[in-house]
Amino acid sequence: MNKDIWIIAEHFENRVRPVTSDLVAFARKMGGEVKAVILGHPVKPLAEDVAQKTGCEVTGIDSPGAAVYNSEVYRNLIKKLCERNQPRYLLVPHTPLGWDFAPALAVDLGYSSISAVTDFNPENSTFIRQILNGKLLEELKSPPGCSAVVTVMPGSANPEPDNTRPPGSVKILEFESPPVKTRTIRYLPAKPGTVNLKDAEVIVAAGRGLKVPERIELIRELASLFKRGAVGASRPLCDQGWLPLEHQVGMTGATVSPKLYLACGISGALQHTMGMKNSSLIVAVNTDRKAPILQVAHFCVNTDLSKFIPVLIKNIRKFRG
């Protein structure tokens, strides 16, 4: 085993996805030699793009089976590469693609497996990750002498601007497609919605703290007081059918950055904050003084939303005259 850190680049429809740069930045923070691996068909233009943007040495694995993502193909081909030259860490983005193959790949390789890390502590070579929806953190390490597959939460490191380093070298390896049982049939783009969260200036977002669906009316009323106000939601509200899916904010919903984001009864799980943390002003209304949403909120009203929101509505009306 050597000390290399390999990152698995992610791409979609012939474009390298920005999460790849996050991963490179995370790996560089860890120290050591950082190399990028990308799978595809044809892979050369993608590999060159990664080398150009990040300055990493890139290995492109070209295989007809890797034209679109398939977990079995990815596992099989990455395993082949690791058997030639075992890295210390294999970093994978914690995305619907990465979390899919990473744990199984760790089993295939006999590596340890650490998922959804948000930070690295170089002093002890440890990884930090959230547990219990962000109420606690834990610190883990891959035992000395053992390689690890690690999935990294998008946004866990600030990427350098593209093209700031001299381009890295590119090596293309051609591998045969392995036989697979799983078949990827097609991609279904998101259904277009009628709610345009992206253009809203103010998003009043509701979470499980609402407790009863009737309170959505309060949220609607508050949002309607702003010229370009819209109603957002955490995932559980959409899962329960209280609001249509198009209101969902977060990893599996919309990514938004309004001028004002009012998070009402939302705990602030990473999957939610990933979609709204760049809003200009974030205000949380939450009964829990320690809710993880406070890690991203600028202001917090530590009060029961069912009491506070009616008073806020009344005061905004009064102010508007």
Partner 1 sequence: MKILVCVKQVPERESRFRLDPSGKGYSDQGINFVLNPYDEYALEEALLIRERLGQVEITALSLGPARVEKIIRRALELGADHGAHILTPESYYLGPGETALQIVKFTRERGFDLLFFGIISEDYMRGQTGPMVAALLQLPFATAVVSETISDDLGLITVERELEAGAREVVELPLPAVLTIQSGINRPRYPRLTDKLRARAQKLEVITGLEPLPPGRCAELLRAFFPPPSPAGTFITGALEEQAEKLIRIIREKTDVL
Ligand X SMILES: Cc1cc2nc3c(=O)[nH]c(=O)nc-3n(C[C@H](O)[C@H](O)[C@H](O)COP(=O)(O)OP(=O)(O)OC[C@H]3O[C@@H](n4cnc5c(N)ncnc54)[C@H](O)[C@@H]3O)c2cc1C
How far apart (Å, rounded) are the C-alpha atoms in residues 157 and 6? 16
Could you say whether residue 283 binds partner 1 (CB under 8 A)? yes
Peptide bond into 143 cis (omega under 30): no
Could you say whether residue 212 binds partner 1 (CB under 8 A)? no
Using DSSP's 3-state secondary structure scheme, residue 220 falls into helix
What letters, b where the CB count within 10 A reaches 16 and e where it falls short, cover 218-247? Answer: bbeebbeebeebbbbbbbbbbeeebbebbb
Q: Element (H or E) spanning 204, and its range?
A: strand 202-206
Among 35, 53, 235, 272, binds partner 1 (CB under 8 A): 235
Could you say whether residue 113 binds partner 1 (CB under 8 A)? yes
Phi, psi of 208 (to 5 degrees): -60, -20
Smaller CB distance to partner 1: residue 44 or 125?
A: 125
Could you say whether residue 236 binds partner 1 (CB under 8 A)? yes
Nearest approach, Cβ of 28 to partner 1 (angstroms)?
22
Could you say whether residue 83 binds partner 1 (CB under 8 A)? no
Binding characters for ligand X, 104-143, by CB under 6 A (x = yes):
-----------------------------x----------
Among 8, 34, 266, 282, binds ligand X (CB under 6 A): 266
The residue range among 39-47, 58-66, 140-148, 164-172 that interacts with partner 1, by the rule CB under 8 A, is: 140-148
DSSP codes joined into one string, 90-120: EEEE-STTHHHHHHHHHHHHT-EEEEEEEEE
Tell which positions 236-265 bind ligand X, by CB under 6 A.
236, 248-253, 265
How far apart (Å, rounded) are the C-alpha atoms in residues 276 and 88? 34
Site residues for ligand X per CB under 6 A: 133, 207-209, 234-236, 248-253, 265-267, 269, 271-272, 275, 285-288, 291, 304-306
